[in-house]
Amino acid sequence: MKRLLTALILLPSMSFGQVRVDLNVKLPDIVFTTPPPLVVVQPGVQVVEDYDEDLYVVDDAYWVRRDGRWYRARDYHGGWEVVEERRVPVTVVRLPPGRYKKWKHSKKGVVVPASHRERGHDHGHDRGHDDDHHKGGKGKGKKK
């Protein structure tokens, strides 16, 4: 089911008549029947885990950017609306498009987006490093 947002704009013309402009914007058809799994990617910003596009949750609202336009839904059931970029949380606007596409929560170590790993930029993240190796030991106590 395609949902379109239609706006009717009446503009004055030079001959003091009116010009009619119809705008049709396809709204996202993103709907979940249950709350989707979320991953915290930075303070105050969560993304829907393993989703086909960047789908953010900030300030109890869902946010998605498509074709340079931002949309917001108040919950996971949908109800998307077009939002001016100036009304989108700055923490989300500044994120590069595609950064959290197909993001997977790591069970060990630092979380790295799947798309980032696929490009060969893993740099050793997500390999289950023992935090104690930086302290000169294996986490088993001090040598005597």
Question: In a structure prediction context, what are the per-residue pLDDT tens digits for the chain, which is 144 residues long?
Answer: 445 555 555 555 565 666 666 567 789 999 999 999 999 999 999 999 999 999 999 999 999 999 999 999 999 999 999 999 999 999 999 999 999 999 987 764 444 444 333 444 444 443 333 333 333 444 444 444
User: What's the distance, CA 62 to chain centroid?
Assistant: 8
pTM over 0.85: no
Q: Name the phi and psi angles at 84, rounded to 5.
A: -65, 140
Whether the CB-CB separation of 8 and 63 falls below 8 Å is answered with: no
Q: Give the number of C-alpha atoms closer than 13 A to the C-alpha of residue 131, restricted to the C-beta side.
A: 3
Q: Which is it for the CA torsion 44, 50, 54, 55, positive or negative?
A: negative
Amino acid at 55: L
